[in-house]
A and B are shown apart, each in its own frame.
Chain A
């Protein structure tokens, strides 16, 4: 069974530029999560989808971050414009459904904002 796929693996941009990350969850997983992991910290939830609907985006900085999962499968997270403090690893995770606890993480995208 293929795991959670993410791309790109690394991205370096200048502040005020825009960037997008892509995630393809495990086949059949209805729930998709985006987490932000700042160096030396635990991951923090940004947004959670159930199929193509948003379950929780309370921690998403909506003035600059946006995310979509239009067909209920893969998802895109965008930052526009980026700030220095957005430098982090962006992790995508998936689970069978919101009622299932086990989450499986992708390798992450390491973003550096200069």
Chain B
């Protein structure tokens, strides 16, 4: 029940295209859903996050779509750039468990110029 499943494992898009990464969770007690971006040799960096009372959140080119009934959420990267090439992790957290993060397995995104 603590798992977060992420797909696809890898994704290649052309510059200017839309990148979409999907995640699904099982535990309905999760109440915070962040996305992290990780470059090689660096730690994960918080990109954008959403609470379950909101269906969509947009920050610049990054949008989270959240479907509470389906227990799914996704990251959309509009106008993808080569600099967006990184590994993206979805995660889930709940205050009742000390806000620790349960991560998905990651998606390696490559944006071709």
Interface residue ranges, A against B (CB under 8 Å): 4, 31, 33, 35, 40-45, 48, 50, 55-56, 91, 93, 95, 98-108
| Contacts A101-B34, A104-B46; A31 near B41 (Cβ below 8 A) | no
Inside 8 A of A55's CB, which chain B residues have their CB? 98
- The contact string, 1 if C-beta is below 8 Å from chain A, for chain B 84-103, is 00000101010101111111
B99 A91 Cβ-Cβ under 8 A: no
B42, B46, B101: the one contacting A107 at CB < 8 Å is B42
C-alpha gap A41/B43 in the complex (Å) = 13
Which residues in chain B, 43-97, are within 8 Å of chain A measured between CB atoms? 43-46, 49, 89, 91, 93, 95, 97
- Smallest beta-carbon distance A32→chain B, Å: 11
- The contact string, 1 if C-beta is below 8 Å from chain A, for chain B 2-31, is 001010000000000000000000000000
A98 B105 Cβ-Cβ under 8 A: no
C-alpha gap A44/B95 in the complex (Å) = 17
- Number of B interface residues, CB 8 Å? 26
| Contacts A4-B43, A42-B105; A33 near B89 (Cβ below 8 A) | no
A105 B99 Cβ-Cβ under 8 A: no
10 interchain residue pairs of minimum CB distance = A42-B103, A105-B43, A101-B32, A98-B98, A55-B98, A105-B44, A45-B100, A107-B43, A42-B89, A108-B43
B100 A99 Cβ-Cβ under 8 A: no
Q: Max chain A CB contacts within 10 Å: which of B6, B45, B89, B98?
A: B98
A4, A41, A100, A108: the one contacting B99 at CB < 8 Å is A100
C-alpha gap A42/B93 in the complex (Å) = 14
C-alpha gap A44/B77 in the complex (Å) = 25
Inside 8 A of A91's CB, which chain B residues have their CB? 43-44
